[in-house]
Structure 1
């Protein structure tokens, strides 16, 4: 359940920039929606999705944005979007019962197909991810004591509820956070999802397309509004987890962790952001970024230590091809620049 510009970097090992410092350059979206869904495709093409049924798309590096959301969705909250290119995208709305829906477009948002509408009042979908262009998964909070998984094999045009037989039992009060579209992520043919709400914040992983899952505890604190809010994996082994408590955004002890074995074990970062963070992403090599409503941080050592570089509010962050984008409240969408 959820409470919730650009420089192309040389593809050198570690993506080092010498003494260059990162900063966000805001773009003019012309919108006031809160964009928790973010899907950059390249340095030119990106999608954002948010409140009041709002979806925007740019194809010119954020110089201009087009409003391309599905008609009749102003009462829905988009929390995740996956973009494949300038024409193809899949977007998720959250909420109880039929508020949880999935829409797909193949023409740049001119038309959308509603490919899934939840009919179970106990389900609440949080995040969606694609392992490749055809195979995708969507995550619901526990139904009948287990997290529920939807799967698609046709690029999001149709979805099917997976058998719960391969899913471990959920803890009392455990759920996922639809804060940035990254409570469920994938890399190298694997997928992971993160939780909070219960007595422990945990990470689930699958290596067979969501049919069976394994779960492990993380060191991040958990509670009614606390846990892991975002995951990022650069390959099958190296991952990052960030979170905290959105009700206490200025303090997040032990709010970041790393794994080097595909999520089987997690270690608390030696220097954490210290504040609630809702999104995390790899830039390249050992460089990573994390964002939240109180600021943004960079790590140059694979998540072991974090340094704040911006105090603005963002919910989601993602890098692709050396280009990093962030999105959040009041229509905020920014691209990363480097200053010497």
Structure 2
């Protein structure tokens, strides 16, 4: 099945279907205060000291690998939030949400009642009790739900009523302020905002949003197409158009500036899939073509000016990658992940080395240095050193 010539609806079905045939590991950077919701994930479980998996430099030197933990299900997880040394949330297909508080020895099913028809692709957790999950899809399939009691009860806080909208990712600056992004509506990406921790949402005016390119959209592959750093900066990644772009907002989503990325696009299956910023200036982008067996040259890029310009990695990952994250407390080490493996950089994204061949869809780390991955067939794993 080819992605060429697809309509926007076709691209979305391709993302839901064909992309679901892949395994993508996404490592969303946590632990850094500059990284918005990931800072919450790193601190919510308490003042963690460096944990069992060591410092960022130790992990980088040891060539990390993933140690699976039993989840008791075979659904696919694309959303994950690490909130402490032993606590994490995952969200995925069939409206499934799981939570652990014992380092993955056991996972508790805390799925919202009646949500089996929803496709969860992102979860943002503030601590072991409070979390927000995003369901993707056209029209009213795009929804946001929140829990304040560890998943015992859930409240639907947003249901999309715009037929042309399709929400892909959600991200928070802090415990109250966050954004969600939809594919273009009437020619511009649509931004949803909250100022009360996801209890209510409003659509922001699109007057400050540049026009979308023909065929341009986001990718709901891992929850990393929208990221934040600090109190006001946000970035969103795109593909599908003639060229991939990264859009940057300095005012919590009210206005945006677009910059061309060096990762190839020009097809509904190609573009930038994942972003990670360790501060307002230094960022990484990964992507490529998620079509199975197709090559993805130039699958990574770096910026040192807040996303105003991007340059390709000198030695990129060998294949498509949809997720990338800075290792906690590191200014130069990061991981990029995808269906064929995990790659490590020790020089800020200039060169990458494959360190694991496992398949996952999403990953997150805590301030303590504990990292989790989740993906197809109910796979959830913890980063270990060998």
**TM-score normalised according to structure 1 size:** 0.96
Equivalent position SS for 2:275: strand
CA drift of 1:149 comes to 0.1
- Aligned pairs for 1:196-211 (under 5 A) are 196-211=239-254
**What's 1:335 paired with?**
382
Q: In structure 2, what is the equivalent of residue 87 of structure 1? A: 129
CA shift digits 1:117-136 (9 cap, x unpaired): 00111000000000000000
Aligned mate of 1:38, from 77, 80, 83 = 80
| Aligned-partner Cα distance in 2 for 1:181–1:43 | 21
| Distance in 2, Cα, partners of 1:293 & 1:337 | 19
Say whether the 8 Å CA contact 1:52–1:73 is kept in structure 2.
Answer: yes
CA distance in 1, matches of 2:274, 2:234: 13
- Select the residue among 234, 238, 251 that pairs with 1:191: 234
1:300 and 2:332 equivalent?
A: no
- How far has the Cα of 1:8 moved from its partner? 3.8
Contact 1:240 1:303 in 2 (8 A): yes
> Matches of 2:177 and 2:63 in 1, distance apart?
38
Q: Answer whether contact 2:288 2:319 (CA < 8 A) is retained.
A: yes
Equivalent in 184, 189, 197 of residue 142 of structure 1: 184
Distance between the aligned counterparts of 2:360 and 2:53, measured in 1?
Answer: 21
Superposed, 1:1-340 pairs within 5 Å as: 1=12, 2-3=15-16, 4=19, 7-10=52-55, 15-17=57-59, 19-189=61-231, 190-222=233-265, 223-249=267-293, 251-284=295-328, 285=330, 286-321=332-367, 322-339=369-386
Deviation of residue 101 (structure 1)?
0.2
User: Structure 1 residues 114, 18: CA separation in 2 closer, same or farther (over 3 Å shift)?
Assistant: closer
1:18 deviation in Å?
7.4
Deviation at 1:35, TM superposition (A): 0.5
CA contact (8 A) 2:60 2:333 kept: no
Name whichever of 172-181 and 302-311 sits farther off: 302-311
Q: Distance in 1 between matches of 2:127 and 2:71?
A: 20
User: How big is the shift at 1:248?
Assistant: 3.7
Measured against aligned partners, the alpha-carbon deviations of 1:14-34 in whole angstroms (never above 9, x if no partner) come to 624574221100110111111
SS of the residue corresponding to residue 52 of structure 1 reads helix
Q: Distance in 2 between matches of 1:156 and 1:186?
A: 16
Structure 1 contact 44–61 (Cα < 8 Å) conserved: yes
Paired residue secondary structure (1:247): coil
Which structure features the higher share of helix residues? Answer: 2
Kindly provide the CA deviation profile for residues 98-142 of structure 1, in whole angstroms up to 9, marking residues without a partner as x: 000000000000000000000111000000000000000000000
Partner of 2:4: none
Alignment partners' CA distance in 1, 2:112 and 2:60:
44
Partner Cα distance (2:60, 2:281) in 1 = 27
> Displacement of 1:324 after TM fit?
1.3
Cα RMSD over matched residues?
1.3
Q: TM-score, normalised by structure 2?
A: 0.85
The whole-number CA distance in structure 2 between the counterparts of 1:32 and 1:248 is 21
Q: Is the 8 A contact 1:176 1:196 kept in 2?
A: yes
Structure with a larger share of its residues in strand: 1
Which whole-Å CA distance do the structure 2 matches of 1:295 and 1:153 have between them?
37
Describe the shift of the 1:328–1:192 C-alpha distance in structure 2 as closer, same or farther (beyond 3 A). Answer: same
